[in-house]
Structure 1
Amino acid sequence: MQIELLETFLDLMETKSFNRTAERLSLTQSTVSGRIHTLETTLGRKLFTRSRAGTQPTPAGYRLLDHARTLRHQWNEARRSVQSTGNFTQSMRIGMQHDLASSHIGDWVTGFRKVLPDAAFYVELDFSNQMSIDLLAGEIDLSIMFTPKNLPDLHHEHIGELAYRMISSTAVHLNDIEPQSYIFTNYSAAFDKVHRQVVANLAEAPLSSGQNITVCGLLSSLGGTAYVLEASAEEMVATGDFDFVRGAPRIPQSVYFAVHLRNRHSHIHRRLLESVRKQLSGA
């Protein structure tokens, strides 16, 4: 069976629209219809019904869903496992939240290489939503993220915590901040919930970002006030150009290790998890 058929089926199960799936996969609608027809012919069952009310999966479509996800994941894992890794015995693709890379990527990769000295590592920086999608599809082997997604076939473990601190080149106290000099940050859903409570009057700030490195760059260039990672805050305060803002609470951010459900007991994945946990805790 061609993997493209399953990819098209899975996307259509999500969109419930032949037009939308065609757009998302950069295909014509007739190609989408043709692939679904081929899959239905192969299985001998209708997978979707189309009417004025829209496209709806049939009972057979729902029964195929979990199998299709598993087949796609296994195919992508198999494809990557046989691709050339040069002189290395295996390759590991790791997704990492953007903000974690700025202060942890070197230590973590060093830890990974101690666990698997004969492996080639590819590290991709991304956000939690995309990493979850890539884990489901088998495009990455594991991820370290801020926001676990309640998706089938994904396994998450809480492995530690970071924190963000508010610093400023202009304000001494939380009540002194002027909206035009504030950089509104949204690093994760959990951070955003607490952040908005702290700075409810600053939500309409003219600048905003979801990456620590970007916010640090903006502060260094323009001055102003913002939350940044605690390690970054300490470095910037040490320059003498910034101070911690009094009255602004430290905002914690949980960190999660995520893998496909099939790999939750894998010896290799567990060893990599423990390496990350030790690095995060400073052990």
Structure 2
Amino acid sequence: MDITQAQTFLAIVECGNFIEASKRVYVTQSTVSARIKSLEEQLGKPLFIRSKGGCELTPAGQQFYRFAHSMVRIWEEAKHHVAVPEGYEDTLIIGGQYSLWNRLLVQWVPHFQALMPNVALRCSIGMPARLIREMGEGVMDIAVVYQPEQRPGMHVEELFDDQLILVTTDLSIPLHKNYIYNDLGETFRSTHAAAFPDLHNPGLTINLGAIGVNLVIRNKGAAYFPRRIVQDYLNKGVLFKIETAPEFSYPAYVVYQEEFSTPHIMESALSSLRDIANMAQTGDLPPPFWQKLISK
């Protein structure tokens, strides 16, 4: 059996149909169908009951699911260990959302390296859906995201609350004239709609993570951002907090593999992440590197 058959099978289970699964594994729908047909022939049992609305697992498919998940997991772990650079004990793969790399994970990397100099790091950035999918496939060990999806074999832990505040470049400009809607996910959309029922269709909507601050400043606008992201701009007088606006809770989570081959490395990574998160909450993180360069 080809490992891609098991990966394709899992993608169909998670997506609910062959069309969406083909997008996830980056092949045509006909290729997905061919892989599953071949897999069913090898197993001698049908794995899916197909219908216009999608597909569901047969009893044989339900039995095969746990084996497919284990096979893909073992395969990814094997690649993981084979790829460990010479001179290192292990490799830790971590991913995070765009805003969570800014002034958080970039601070964590050297902190962890000082604790675990014999562990190689691979870092990536992306949206929660891709990061959690790679966690499920065993491609990634840790993901730091705002809106995690619970999946088997993963543990989800709240890391800290990235409080959202409304900031502006000019307090004298009425909000309806310079407001920029920063799309921060489904929970934010509902709480924002309740707080601002008349501010539902601004002329500019962004979903750019931390770099969206630059656009807001360039456009002399106002928008919601995590306090951690804009604190330095507030300190410098580049942005100003609108004190009358409500603040919103915006928790960040760390998602990690429950079974990791070297538990002491995972525990060190999690412990150091908690330390950096606490520093971010209390404002004790070092200033951004670019401030040091400007001051020289």
- TM-score clears 0.5: yes
2:138 matches 1:138: yes
TM-score (norm 2): 0.84
How many angstroms does 1:167 deviate by? 1.2
- Contact kept, 8 Å, 1:264 with 1:270, in 2: the verdict is no
2:114 matches 1:114: yes
Unaligned 5+ segments in structure 2 are 285-296
| Partner of residue 81, structure 1 | 81
How many angstroms does 1:30 deviate by? 4.4
| Residues 120-169 of structure 1 deviation map (CA, whole Å, 9 limit, x = unaligned) | 11111122222111100011111111112132332101122222221112
Change (3 A) 1:192 1:268: farther
Q: What is the rounded CA distance, in whole Å, between the counterparts of 1:117 and 1:3 in structure 2?
A: 33
Q: What is the rounded CA distance, in whole Å, between the counterparts of 2:80 and 2:146 in structure 1?
A: 26
Change (3 A) 1:258 1:56: closer
Q: What is the rounded CA distance, in whole Å, between the counterparts of 1:242 and 1:21 in structure 2?
A: 44
How many angstroms does 1:90 deviate by? 1.9
- DSSP 3-state at the match of 1:223: coil
How many angstroms does 1:211 deviate by? 3.2
How many angstroms does 1:53 deviate by? 6.6
TM-score (norm 1): 0.87
Q: What is the rounded CA distance, in whole Å, between the counterparts of 1:126 and 1:172 in structure 2?
A: 36
Unaligned 5+ segments in structure 1 are none
Correspondence list, 1:51-66, <5 A:
55-66=55-66
| Partner of residue 98, structure 1 | 98
Q: What is the rounded CA distance, in whole Å, between the counterparts of 2:238 and 2:22 in structure 1?
A: 52
2:27 matches 1:31: no
Alignment partner of 1:229 out of 226, 230, 239: 226
- Contact kept, 8 Å, 1:162 with 1:254, in 2: the verdict is yes
- DSSP 3-state at the match of 2:170: coil
| Residues 84-139 of structure 1 deviation map (CA, whole Å, 9 limit, x = unaligned) | 51432322110112111111123200222133211111111122222111100011
| Partner of residue 196, structure 1 | 193
Look up the equivalent residue of 2:150 and give its one-letter code.
N
Larger strand fraction of residues: 1
| Partner of residue 250, structure 1 | 247
Q: What is the rounded CA distance, in whole Å, between the counterparts of 1:229 and 1:164 in structure 2?
A: 4
RMSD: 2.6
Number of aligned residue pairs: give it.
280
Change (3 A) 1:104 1:199: same
- Quote the sequence identity (%): 24
| Partner of residue 177, structure 1 | 175
Q: What is the rounded CA distance, in whole Å, between the counterparts of 2:208 and 2:140 in structure 1?
A: 22
- Contact kept, 8 Å, 1:9 with 1:36, in 2: the verdict is yes
- DSSP 3-state at the match of 1:251: coil
- Contact kept, 8 Å, 2:84 with 2:120, in 1: the verdict is no
2:256 matches 1:259: yes
Alignment partner of 2:215 out of 194, 215, 218: 218
Change (3 A) 1:32 1:169: closer
